[in-house]
Amino acid sequence: MNPDTRLKDPLSLRVTPWISFIGFFVVWQLLIDTGIVPRILLASPAEVGQLFIDKLTNPDPDGAVLLTHTMVSLLEAVLGYVLSLVIGIPLGLLMGWFVVAEGLARPPFEMIRPIPPVAWIPLAIFWFGIGLTGKVFIIWACGVVPCVINAYTGVRMTSPTLIQMARTYGASDWQIFTKICVPSALPMVFGGLQIALALAWTTLVAAELIAANEGLGYLITMGRRLLRPDMIVLGMIMVGLTGWIIGNIIDRIERRLTAGLERGGAAT
């Protein structure tokens, strides 16, 4: 990113974000209180806050407390996500180095790749019902694509001179793969993890909106059915918040794991 060359004074730098943040809620609240936006279309921040406290302990009217919804969504997301990493990353790495692996895996992969993950939802319901397994499958289907692509690209981008150099030392194909290609590909692989995460979370909510009996997406759907805009908004906020938190955790892990690589990666 380019360095910020704008004029900055410390006061406005610190104050303006808060004005905007608080202002957002004030305007929202006022829109409802003055009746410009009817209550049937949107809940006020105060109502959403109230519902949040209420839903911490009250399972009504959608059948579960907030923590249960969040944990259900998280479990589905984590399982599907981990499965897509475990399958996608090795597959992509192998495809990047071994021509046979690419030849075998590429055609089916290219056929499946352009299908938006959401389009798998009806089939997944047929196969696995509306429970955990179906969601895990859908998340796996969408998370595996960026994992494969990034791992593949990472290996393909390995410096050819490093590979040639290893050949002069008599390194075998497998040694070059594990000792050179895989470490070279790591930064790209982590990029893929972030993309996969964002995709997985989005798709999960879509899947829960369509078919579920628990989860944050289900909370939103129930809000629509029961004409409860406060439930819809609470669900949206929880989805955003949880996604943001997971994103940050992955970011931390990545930074720790690639610390050594980044140090060197910038050099050559």
Comparing CB distances to another protein, the nearer of 70 and 158 is: 158
Report the distance separating Cα 65 and Cα 253, nearest Å: 30
Is 186 within 8 Å of 261 (Cβ atoms)?
yes
Q: Considering the complex, what minimum distance in angstroms separates the CB of residue 261 from another protein?
A: 5
Q: Considering the complex, what minimum distance in angstroms separates the CB of residue 182 from another protein?
A: 11
Report the distance separating Cα 91 and Cα 101, nearest Å: 8
Comparing CB distances to another protein, the nearer of 163 and 206 is: 163
The residue ranges that bind another protein (CB under 8 A) are: 159, 161-162, 164-171, 175, 179-180, 183, 260-261, 263-268
Comparing CB distances to another protein, the nearer of 8 and 263 is: 263
Contacts 24+ apart (CB under 8 A), 168-177: 173/97, 173/98, 176/97, 177/93, 177/97, 177/98
Inter-helix orientation angle 216-225/182-210, to 10°? 20
Comparing CB distances to another protein, the nearer of 39 and 167 is: 167
Report the distance separating Cα 100 and Cα 224, nearest Å: 51
Cα atoms in the Cβ-side hemisphere of radius 13 Å centred on 67: 5
End-to-end CA distance of the chain: 20
User: Cis peptide before 59, with omega less than 30 degrees from 0?
Assistant: no
Report the distance separating Cα 146 and Cα 196, nearest Å: 6
Q: Considering the complex, what minimum distance in angstroms separates the CB of residue 253 from another protein?
A: 18
Q: Where are the alpha helices (DSSP H) in 98-181?
A: 99-112, 121-128, 132-156, 160-168, 173-176
Q: Considering the complex, what minimum distance in angstroms separates the CB of residue 259 from another protein?
A: 10
Q: Considering the complex, what minimum distance in angstroms separates the CB of residue 98 from another protein?
A: 19
Q: Considering the complex, what minimum distance in angstroms separates the CB of residue 178 from another protein?
A: 11
Comparing CB distances to another protein, the nearer of 16 and 159 is: 159
Q: Considering the complex, what minimum distance in angstroms separates the CB of residue 174 from another protein?
A: 11
Comparing CB distances to another protein, the nearer of 67 and 257 is: 257
Comparing CB distances to another protein, the nearer of 75 and 166 is: 166
